[in-house]
Every structure is written in structure tokens, then in C-alpha cells.
């Protein structure tokens, strides 16, 4: 008995000793990284959101996010078009450094190098599960893709564990979804062929068969017809794989919700890239007529609903307090982008660009200044921030947040700004629009001289081209009406020097265009 008692106390002593030897850190709660979600819109303008001044168009869910988070008034996409903006967002590299970073056809090879650093790679290394649902538009394969086999390299080779994408744009073939490299619904008996140069024999086109169209093309968009809508590029086969345009928003939403539910017990990064309000605008019938502005307004209402449903899922899964949500758009707004869809006719008093000048494709502010919101329930104090921030900065900021030492050439670590702890954003930023570049520094915007037309007549957007330098004080003149370049040569010189220090001197302007 005594023997057992002694052994018992010995064991107790030993246990106390062993417990007290445990390293201290283990007892403290180790902070876990949050889930990160980027909700990326396609062509949503600065003025298209209630929180950014829209009154005719109702966007209650976007507004709720803005009101509960930080609404940036100087938040920028890197480019006034899609591919370059998406390239910069994922890699943290200015798109003008990559000559192929321009609007890509559906057959373009993968633009991001498989060795290149990306946001999902940074996060993967820190234990995140990474997914993309929605629009890709960064190229696939290495040229001559066989759509009937595994399409690779693609998102899964640049850091995403899971991908469910549309290859390019809703108006470009192939009009199919691709899950982890495989066309969903592919049928070996009905192989998919895609070509951007020539049609496949006997296949109808928008140009030759207007009688088959349910949506009319205005410019471009007159190649293969899918679901009555003429597209850019030619496609044959894959009947069962073709998407339903009116169901696309619901389809991507369901995939995004599924992704969250499947990975709720891991730390995840989801890039949810919606296709709205890019053309062709095809709202689900339950959203038809809801905006009074025709399909463009209706798909914004639809996208707003999708956002609300998606956030509901995060809430139901108890993830909202542990998820940083970033909401923004790849470029500014456009009304007629190639189809007759009443966007122009039914715009009424709505101003898609707010008080900004220009729109998609433009070097003026509306090309790149977009809705830009960060939200993290319980962690971000609601406010409006005037700091200049860019999607280019997500990579370095996110790396900072998860304690990664990774960074990218042009990306600035601005997590304090995205979290609302600081209002010191970028001092300078180069923006891009269809291979031209402009500069923002402090309150000033600089646009070098360019030869091109002042306006793209088809889309009815001022592009920012002018034979003279343009200099605007955005604080006093947000609509860029008063060119101060002549009156303020010192400021002009200062900005040109700062711009060229980053951009170099071989950018295209009238002068060096004339040299060619």
C-alpha cells in the first residue's frame, strides 16, 4: 500500500514537472490568419454603387459592405481594361512591364509565369487553401490548347488549389466552364474546337445569320452564335458543355458558396470574380426589369444580390468575423460595349462614372478609379478613406498580414491602410489604359501626349488622348476639366520627372510615335 502511495506521489510530481517544462508559447493563443476573399467585379463603375453616390440604381449589399467597412474614394484598378488589371492584382507587378498584358483572346496562352509570385502562392505557403471562382481572362495553356484534354497551365499552376472559371470573357469563346483544367460537360463525341481567325465550315455567325440572334451586335461580336448571342471568336462542338448565360451569376455564386462550405475548417483565400456588368448582359429572368435601366442595371442588381447571398453564407458558417473581404472592380464603366442592349437608351440620370471623366479604356480617372471596399466584421472600424490605394498593393499587403517575407516589384504593403489604421496610402501610381500610361501623384494627375483619337466613338468614351501634356488637380477638379499643364510648368516638370523615374523615358507619346 505504502509502495503504491509513494509511486502515486512520485507520478504526480513527475506530471507537475513535465507540465511546467512545456514551452510557454504553447499556452498563449496563437493568432490565426483570417480567410481572405476578393470579390472582383467586371466593368463596375465608380458611380454604379449607392455608397459611391448612385441614387437611381439600388445596391443595398454593396452599400452595407461599404458602410460597415472602409470605403476608399481613391481606390484604383491598375488598368482601364480587364487582363492587365487582373494580372497586376494577382502578381503585384505593373501590367505595362508585361507586353502581353492586354485584352486577351480566349486562345491566348497563360500570361502569368508558372514561376511568378502570386497572391495565392504567398497564401498557400502559409497554409491557406486557395480557390478561384469566376472570370479568369489571363490566358490558358501554352498555345494551341486542346479543349478536350486537360487545359494546362492555368490557375492551378499559378497558385490556386481549386479553380472554376470562364476562360476569357462572357462575350468570347469558348463559352464553357472549366474546373481544375477540365471543361465541365465535355463530350468526347462532340469535341470542342476554337479559333479566333477563321470560322468552322457550315457554322452560323452573327454576321451572316442575323435571323438566329436574340441579341444584336453593335460593333465586333459577330462571330459564333451561342444561345442566340453572337460572340468574339469561332467555336464548334461542345453542345452539352456550353454555359447558360442567364444562369451564370447563380452558377458562380453556388460554386463560391460551395467552396466556402467545403473549406470552412481550413484557412482559405477565395478570388470570386463575377462576370457582371460586362457584356453580354444577361440577367436571370427574375432580375429582368428590376433596375429600370435595362440589362446593364439589372445585372448590377443581380450582382448585388449575389454579394448579399455570398456574405450570408459566410455569416451562416460563422466565418464573417474571421474573413477579410475586399470588394472592387477591374476597370471603369462602359455602356455600349458592342451589343444593342438599351444600356445607353435607358441610362436616365444614372452616372456610371459618378463625377469622374472617361470610362473603360480611358486614361482619365473613370478608367481606373473604381469602387474599392475592405470589410472585416469586428476588426475594421467603418470609415471613408481618401488614401490612394491600388489593387497592385494586395500582394504585399496580404503577405504582410500573414507574416510572409514575400513581395513583388510594384506592390506596396498597405495593410494598415486597408485595415483603417492609417490614411497614408501611395504617394504615386502609374495607371494603364490600352498600352498607354498616366500618372497619379498626390492630388495631381498627369497624362502624357498621345496621338490617338480623343474619343472612342463606338463606346462613346473619351480616352484621354491629347497632343499636349495634361495636368489636373483632382482635389479641385475631380472631373478633369481644367488642364493646368501650361499654367503650372513647375508642377508639370515635377510630375514628369517622378513619372519617368518609374516608367523610364521610352513610353509611347506623340514625340516618339513620330520617331518611328
Q: Which does 169 bind (CB under 5 to 8 A by kind): Ca ion, ligand NG6, none?
A: ligand NG6
Shortest Cβ 355–ligand NG6 spacing (Å): 22
Q: Which does 219 bind (CB under 5 to 8 A by kind): ligand NG6, Ca ion, none?
A: ligand NG6
Spatial contact of 339 and 217, defined as CB atoms under 8 Å apart: yes
Shortest Cβ 80–Ca ion spacing (Å): 9
CB nearer to ligand NG6: give 232 or 307: 232
Work out whether 42 is an interface residue with Ca ion (CB under 5 A).
yes
Chain position whose Cβ is nearest to ligand NG6: 220
Shortest Cβ 137–Ca ion spacing (Å): 8
What's the CA gap between 403 and 166, in Å, rounded? 32
What's the CA gap between 295 and 289, in Å, rounded? 8
The grid coordinates listed for 408 are 513583388
As a whole number of angstroms, the longest Cα–Cα distance in the chain is: 104
What's the CA gap between 438 and 50, in Å, rounded? 28
Work out whether 48 is an interface residue with Ca ion (CB under 5 A).
no
Work out whether 171 is an interface residue with Ca ion (CB under 5 A).
no
CB nearer to Ca ion: give 145 or 279: 279
Shortest Cβ 402–ligand NG6 spacing (Å): 30
CB nearer to ligand NG6: give 223 or 323: 223
Shortest Cβ 275–ligand NG6 spacing (Å): 10
Spatial contact of 246 and 269, defined as CB atoms under 8 Å apart: no
Shortest Cβ 102–Ca ion spacing (Å): 13
CB nearer to ligand NG6: give 121 or 221: 221
Spatial contact of 276 and 302, defined as CB atoms under 8 Å apart: yes
Count of beta carbons in the 10 Å neighbourhood of residue 508: 16
Count of beta carbons in the 10 Å neighbourhood of residue 427: 11
Shortest Cβ 463–ligand NG6 spacing (Å): 14
What's the CA gap between 218 and 457, in Å, rounded? 12
Shortest Cβ 282–ligand NG6 spacing (Å): 14
Work out whether 362 is an interface residue with Ca ion (CB under 5 A).
no
Shortest Cβ 280–ligand NG6 spacing (Å): 9
Q: Which does 338 bind (CB under 5 to 8 A by kind): ligand NG6, Ca ion, none?
A: ligand NG6
CB nearer to Ca ion: give 38 or 117: 38
CB nearer to ligand NG6: give 420 or 464: 464
Q: Which does 357 bind (CB under 5 to 8 A by kind): ligand NG6, Ca ion, none?
A: none
DSSP structure class, residue 31:
P
Which residues of the shown chain bind ligand NG6 in the complex (CB under 6 A)? 42-43, 81-82, 103, 137, 169, 171, 219-221, 232, 278-279, 331, 337-338
Work out whether 222 is an interface residue with Ca ion (CB under 5 A).
no
Residues in binding contact with Ca ion, number by CB under 5 A: 5
Spatial contact of 295 and 345, defined as CB atoms under 8 Å apart: no
CB nearer to Ca ion: give 168 or 186: 168
Q: Of 180-188, 211-219, 331-339, 501-509, which segment contacts Ca ion by CB under 5 A?
A: 331-339
What's the CA gap between 155 and 281, in Å, rounded? 25
Spatial contact of 361 and 81, defined as CB atoms under 8 Å apart: yes
CB nearer to ligand NG6: give 82 or 93: 82
Work out whether 330 is an interface residue with Ca ion (CB under 5 A).
yes
The grid coordinates listed for 44 are 463596375
Spatial contact of 480 and 363, defined as CB atoms under 8 Å apart: no
Q: Which of 323, 331, 374, 465 binds Ca ion (CB under 5 A)?
A: 331
Q: What is the CA radius of gyration of the chain?
A: 25
Range 310-314, long-range pairs (CB < 8 A, 24+ positions): 310/39, 310/253, 310/256, 310/257, 310/260, 310/272, 311/61, 311/65, 313/257, 313/260, 313/261, 314/37, 314/260
* Sequence-separated (6 or more) residues with CB below 8 Å from residue 318: none
Q: Which does 220 bind (CB under 5 to 8 A by kind): Ca ion, ligand NG6, none?
A: ligand NG6
CB nearer to Ca ion: give 460 or 505: 460
CB nearer to ligand NG6: give 220 or 479: 220
Work out whether 337 is an interface residue with Ca ion (CB under 5 A).
no
CB nearer to ligand NG6: give 445 or 459: 459
What is the DSSP track for 381-438?
Answer: PPEEEEEEEEGGGHHHHHHHHTT-----TT----HHHHTTS-----SEEEEEETTEEE
What's the CA gap between 41 and 67, in Å, rounded? 19
* Enclosing H/E stretch for 7: helix 2-21
Chain position whose Cβ is nearest to Ca ion: 82
What distance lies between CA 251 and its chain's CA centroid? 18
Binding site for Ca ion (CB under 5 A): 42-43, 82, 330-331
Amino acid at each position: 500500500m505504502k509502495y503504491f502511495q509513494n509511486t502515486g506521489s512520485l507520478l504526480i510530481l513527475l506530471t507537475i514537472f513535465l507540465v511546467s517544462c512545456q514551452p510557454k508559447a504553447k499556452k498563449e493563443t496563437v493568432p490565426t490568419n483570417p480567410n481572405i476573399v476578393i470579390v472582383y467585379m467586371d466593368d463596375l463603375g465608380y458611380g454604379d454603387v449607392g455608397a459611391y453616390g448612385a441614387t437611381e440604381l439600388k445596391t443595398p449589399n454593396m452599400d452595407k459592405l461599404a458602410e460597415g467597412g472602409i470605403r476608399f474614394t481613391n481606390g484604383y484598378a491598375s488598368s482601364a481594361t480587364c487582363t492587365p488589371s487582373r494580372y497586376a492584382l494577382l502578381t503585384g507587378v505593373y501590367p505595362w512591364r508585361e507586353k502581353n498584358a492586354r485584352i486577351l483572346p480566349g486562345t491566348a496562352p497563360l500570361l502569368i509565369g508558372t514561376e511568378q509570385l502570386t497572391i495565392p502562392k504567398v497564401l498557400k505557403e502559409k497554409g491557406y487553401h486557395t480557390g478561384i471562382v469566376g472570370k479568369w481572362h489571363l490566358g490558358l495553356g501554352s498555345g494551341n490548347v486542346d479543349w478536350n484534354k486537360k487545359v494546362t497551365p492555368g490557375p492551378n499552376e499559378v497558385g490556386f488549389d481549386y479553380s472554376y472559371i470562364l476562360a476569357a470573357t462572357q462575350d468570347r469563346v469558348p463559352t464553357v466552364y472549366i474546373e481544375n483544367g477540365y471543361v465541365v460537360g465535355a463530350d468526347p463525341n462532340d469535341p470542342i474546337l476554337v479559333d479566333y481567325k477563321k470560322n468552322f465550315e457550315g457554322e452560323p455567325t452573327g454576321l451572316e445569320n442575323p435571323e438566329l440572334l436574340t441579341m444584336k451586335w453593335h460593333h465586333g461580336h459577330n462571330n459564333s452564335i451561342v444561345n442566340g448571342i453572337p460572340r468574339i471568336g469561332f467555336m464548334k462542338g461542345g453542345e452539352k458543355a456550353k454555359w447558360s448565360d442567364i444562369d451564370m451569376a447563380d452558377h458562380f455564386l453556388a460554386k463560391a458558396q460551395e467552396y466556402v462550405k467545403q473549406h470552412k475548417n481550413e484557412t482559405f483565400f477565395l478570388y470570386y470574380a463575377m462576370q457582371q456588368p460586362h457584356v453580354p448582359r444577361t440577367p436571370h429572368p427574375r432580375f429582368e426589369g428590376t433596375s429600370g435601366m435595362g440589362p446593364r442595371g439589372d445585372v448590377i442588381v443581380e450582382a448585388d444580390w449575389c454579394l448579399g447571398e455570398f456574405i450570408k453564407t459566410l455569416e451562416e458558417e460563422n466565418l464573417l468575423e474571421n474573413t477579410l473581404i475586399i470588394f472592387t472592380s477591374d476597370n471603369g464603366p462602359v455602356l455600349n460595349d458592342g451589343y444593342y442592349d438599351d444600356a445607353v437608351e435607358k441610362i436616365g440620370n444614372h452616372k456610371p462614372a459618378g463625377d469622374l471623366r472617361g470610362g473603360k479604356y480611358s486614361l482619365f480617372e473613370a478608367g481606373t478609379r473604381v469602387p474599392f471596399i475592405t470589410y472585416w466584421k469586428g476588426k475594421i472600424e467603418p470609415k471613408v478613406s481618401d488614401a490612394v490605394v491600388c489593387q497592385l498593393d494586395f500582394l504585399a499587403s496580404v503577405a504582410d498580414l500573414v507574416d510572409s517575407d514575400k513581395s513583388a516589384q510594384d506592390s506596396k504593403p498597405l495593410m494598415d491602410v486597408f485595415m483603417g489604421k492609417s490614411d497614408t496610402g501611395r504617394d504615386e501610381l502609374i495607371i494603364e489604359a490600352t498600352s498607354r500610361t498616366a500618372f497619379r501623384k498626390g492630388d495631381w494627375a498627369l497624362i502624357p501626349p498621345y496621338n490617338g483619337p480623343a474619343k472612342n466613338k463606338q463606346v462613346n468614351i473619351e480616352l484621354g488622348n491629347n497632343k499636349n501634356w495634361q495636368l489636373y488637380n483632382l482635389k479641385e477638379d475631380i472631373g478633369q476639366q481644367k488642364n493646368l499643364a501650361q499654367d503650372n510648368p513647375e508642377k508639370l516638370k515635377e510630375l514628369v520627372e517622378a513619372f519617368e523615374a518609374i516608367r523610364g523615358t521610352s513610353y509611347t507619346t506623340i514625340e516618339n510615335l513620330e520617331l518611328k
